[in-house]
């Protein structure tokens, strides 16, 4: 059974940092894109960041660029999101996502539809 197991998250004050990790169990995603989305109650899932299989091409939403850093370790089958200078508006459930297909520049990795595996989500709450 393939799973994306998330860890990290929690409650922090604005301006502080948190790290989210996601470990793939049951298969490797070393040739596919992995990413992070977030969701708040009543709203659609929002793209946060994604990283291509080689780790050298990364995508960020405009709301997090410069504050968040995505990385991956293909040997460990993990993807990590380092979140710095957190703001109250970053409060959400964060979900790890993985695409089992080899990556393509024709795909839009800011879209939830490009991913076929999802973590269960982890709550991040930033107080002001």
pLDDT score of 105: 85
pLDDT digits (tens, 9 = 90+) for 86-108: 999 999 999 999 999 998 888 89
Measuring CA to CA, which residue among 85, 79, 118 is closest to residue 18? 85
pLDDT bucket at 3, cuts 50 / 70 / 90: very high
Q: Which long-range contacts (CB under 8 A, 24 or more apart) does 67-75 make?
A: 70/35, 70/36, 72/34, 74/28, 74/30
pLDDT digits (tens, 9 = 90+) for 35-92: 999 999 999 999 999 999 999 999 999 999 999 999 999 999 999 999 999 999 999 9
């Amino acid at each position: 059974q393939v799973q994306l197991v998330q860890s990290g998250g929690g409650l922090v004050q604005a301006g502080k940092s948190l790290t989210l990790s996601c470990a793939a169990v049951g298969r490797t995603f070393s040739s596919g894109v992995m990413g992070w989305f977030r969701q708040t109650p009543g709203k659609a899932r929002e793209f946060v960041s994604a990283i291509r299989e080689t780790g050298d091409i990364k995508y960020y939403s405009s709301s997090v660029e410069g504050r968040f850093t995505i990385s991956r370790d293909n040997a460990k089958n993990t993807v990590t999101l380092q979140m710095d200078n957190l703001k109250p508006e970053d409060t959400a459930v964060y979900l790890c996502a993985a695409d089992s297909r080899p990556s393509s520049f024709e795909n839009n990795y800011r879209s939830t539809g490009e991913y076929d595996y999802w973590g269960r989500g982890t709550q991040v709450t930033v107080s002001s």
